[in-house]
Structures are given as C-alpha cells and as structure tokens.
Amino acid sequence: MSTPTTPHSLEGLRVIDAASLAAGPLVATWLGELGAEVIKIEQPAGGDAVRQWGAQKDGVGLMWKSISRNKKSVTLNLREERGRDILRRLARGADVLVMNLRPSTMTRWGIDYASMSTENPGLVMVHITGFGAGGPKSDHPGFGTLGEAMSGFAHMTGHPDGPPTLPSFMLGDGVAALNATYAVLAALYHRDVHGGGGQLIDLNLVEPLARLLEQPVLTYDQLGAIPTRSGNRWDISAPRNTYRTSDDRWLAMSGSAPSIAMRALRAVGREDLTTDPRFAEAQRRLENAAEIDTVIADWVAQHTLDEAMAVFEEAHVAAAPVYDAEQLLADPQLKARNVYRSVEDPELGRMTVQGPVPVMTATPGRVDHLGPPLGQHTDEVLTDLLGIDDADLSSLRADGVI
C-alpha cells in the first residue's frame, strides 16, 4: 500500500495529457499512478468529453473520476493560437506529451512532434489516433469501436449463428493505452539510460488489439482457413465454456492444459474418459470438443454454483464464477489483496475505485485523489510553471483561452 512517504518510480517525471476520451488519457493515468506529475489539458467549454461519458451522479461522470485520478485539470483552448503557445511552453518543461488530434491538425497548428521536439529534444510524444499516421485513413476520425471491428475482435466474438459482437467496455482504447504506456517507459529508458533523445510514439486503435488476435491471421496465412465465431468455446482448448448452474448462476472453465482437462473429467465423475483416446490426446480432444462440453455442462446443470465450485476447487480444476459488479467487490481473494479502495472525493464524498495494477513492492502505485473539477489547477499550473501573472490570467480567461 502506498503512503505519502513511499517512493514512486516515476517521481520527477512531468506528463502533459492533452488527449481526450479514453486511450490517450489512460496512458497518463497509469503514469500518474506510478508517481509522475500529470497536467490534464481540457477545453474551457465542457472539458474532456469523458466527463459526460457513461453513468453520472449529481452531474458528475463516474468514469471521469477514475480515469483522471492524480491529474491536475488545466483549461486551454487549443483552437486559439495563444492556447497552443501555452501548450508549447508547457511542453518545453515536460518529459511526455500525450495527444490524439488528427495528424493534419497537429501539423497545421504547429504542435506536431517535429515542431515540439525542436524546443525540447528530449520530449517523448505519444500520438494515438484511430488509424495511425500514414496511409489513406491517416486523418479519418476513429474510436475504439472501429478498432474492435477492424482488428478481428468482433468477427471472432459471439455465437456462430449470431452477429459479430462488440465489447460493452473500452477494450480497444485500453489495449492501445497499455501498449503506449510500455512504449513510453521504453522511450524514457532509451533517453535517460542510453543517452538518446526523445521520440514519437505513433499508435492507433487497430494494431494493438489485432496483435492479441493474431491466431486467425496465422491460421489463414498457413492453412488458408478463416476462423469464425464459436461462442464461449475456443478451438485450442477443451473444455472451455461458460456453464449454467442449477441455481441459475454461471461459471467459466478452461482446460487449456491437458492435466487440467483430465482433472475436470475426473471431477464430474467421468474417469473413464481420461483413458479414451478421443479425449486423452490433446488434438483429438479438440476434435471432440462438443462432446466433452456436453459432459461438463450436464454435470454443472445438476449443481448449484457453490456446490460445483467446491468440487472443482477441491480437484484443482481451473474454474471461476462469472461475477457481476456486486459479486466482484465481495470476492474474498480480491478483498484480501485490497484491489478496490474507497477514496475521499470533494464532489461525491467517498467513491470505490480499483487500485493500481500491478502490485509493486518497493514503488507501489497510488491514488492521491480522483478526477478534479474542470480547470481546478489552471491558475496554479500557469503561474508556477510559466510565471503568468494575474493580469494575464484574467485576459486569457476573458478571451476564452483558458
């Protein structure tokens, strides 16, 4: 658990989060959890769109509160040249700048990497767009949904007789942000350890998720076959599915390791199948996945979730209950690891959010505060970092620049 005196691995690092919505801001969120100072740039009118995203309480966006933890909110109108000039000045003293404007807009406004790095050669810029720089779609608007479709995720998700299925959470943005975060750390290591300069990290919302879905491409390339949807089953593992219990709950099981698959058969009373070549040999078990799936489903349907889980845990079978949010918060394992924390917030009172992932023993991540009100830190940041005086602040505010 992080305390005010705990060392933080990215202490002294300054990050300018001038992106909006999910992927770019998530990069800054994770860097901020590790101790970086994060300055969040928002439009003066309305702020980041994620403030209005999803569930609200008393007009406050709940997702905003979590994504913008540990950040300072500064309003800055980048459509105005004076606003862009302030961004350039902030970037001169920054280590990392996160952007997601269209490439042509960045160039036209003079805030692209080539322009910014001239004044700060050590700057690491993360530029996340829908499709990446270069190519015919370079300037097209893009969101995680398009990445989830084009990456092959939607094609492989859902039941065989149903439509391609999109996730109901920010999967494409999250995977892209994770890729960008480790790229930032690699770029900083290159700069600070190898004596290199800064660099541009060009990332889109298609390629990171496609990398996780590479198997269909490998299959098509080598075998000429196009894999299709298989529901909750997977053609490399059997048994592997979700199963309904007698008390109308669900559990999931994975038999990816042959030893686990054999344990599952023994646990449901089918020792005889463990010596049957159709199920004992890995490739043949996949050929007979439907039959082994029926064996598991029929047994699970005769037991409550608690009964089935007790048997599977005793037999060391890889099975888990399918949780909703309430059940997730109540799980003893997650409670023991202090995964979810109650954080004091001036707007919402207390709010439960998930703590930093992963757990680090020497430099654990932190949640100092949740997402701040719009522009709360504008005067502080512009005064302390850029020396802008009260008269200039008033002028900038009157003209809609901040």
Task: Check if 368 is active-site.
Answer: no
Instruction: From the candidates 58, 173, 345, 399, give the one annotated as an active-site residue.
Output: 173
Tokens (6 digits) for 307 = 């009964």
Integer Cα distance of 8 and 368 in angstroms: 12
Phi, psi of 352 (to 5 degrees): -90, 125
CB 49 within 8 A of CB 21: yes
Integer Cα distance of 201 and 208 in angstroms: 13
Which residues contact residue 134 at a Cβ distance below 8 angstroms, ignoring those fewer than 6 apart? none
Catalytic residues: 173
